[in-house]
């Protein structure tokens, strides 16, 4: 009887601890809300690059490593060649400075990207002086 009660109390305690952590992770991802989904620059169609099931997307096999595409889910950004953890998103002159920690089959690297969401697209800028940017359309 005591063992059952201890397990019950432990389970309840873990549940509360997990619940307490949810707002922090949700708040961190709040600045990423506009970036969630699969994105593709002009060229190939979404159907050529992605397999979309429900609300989720993945790169079609075989993966086109040259596709101008990326997927953001939570605080992860994936390209055809790399997987990145989004460390932070900070406002920067009407854009967002996104700090990434990326790795691929060969190495790991810290990357900074300037992006700005619009109504139905995202623009990626090469640097602070780039006024045109590259536009990515949402596929999912």
Domain ranges of the chain: 1-30, 33-138
| Per-residue model confidence as pLDDT tens digits over 55-96 | 789 999 999 999 999 999 999 999 999 999 999 999 988 999
pLDDT by residue (tens digit) across 28-62? 445 799 999 999 999 899 999 999 888 789 999 99
Q: How many CB atoms lie within 10 A of CB 65?
A: 10
Q: Are 29 and 88 in contact (CB under 8 A)?
A: no
- Residue 60 sits at φ, ψ, to 5 deg, of -65, 145
Q: What is the pTM of this model?
A: 0.76
Task: Report, in angstroms and rounded to the nearest whole number, the Rg of the chain calculated over CA atoms.
Answer: 19
Q: List all residues 6 or more positions away from 123 whose beta carbon is below 8 Å from its beta carbon.
A: 115, 116, 133, 134, 135, 136
Q: Is 14 left (phi over 0), alpha (psi -120 to 50) or beta?
A: alpha
User: To which residue do tokens 């990207």 refer?
Assistant: 113
């Amino acid at each position: 009887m005591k063992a059952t009660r201890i397990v019950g109390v432990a389970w309840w305690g873990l549940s509360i601890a997990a619940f307490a952590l949810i707002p922090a992770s949700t708040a961190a991802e709040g600045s990423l809300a506009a970036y969630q989904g699969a994105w593709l620059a002009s060229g190939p169609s979404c159907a050529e690059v992605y397999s979309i099931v429900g609300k989720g997307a993945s790169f079609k096999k075989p993966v086109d490593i040259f596709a101008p595409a990326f997927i953001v889910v939570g605080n992860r950004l994936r390209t055809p060649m790399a997987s990145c953890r989004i460390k932070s998103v900070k406002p920067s002159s009407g854009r967002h400075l996104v700090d990434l920690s990326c790795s691929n089959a060969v190495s790991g690297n810290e990357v900074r990207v300037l992006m700005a969401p619009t109504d139905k697209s995202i623009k990626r800028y090469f640097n602070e002086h780039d006024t045109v940017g590259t536009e990515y359309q949402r596929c999912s």
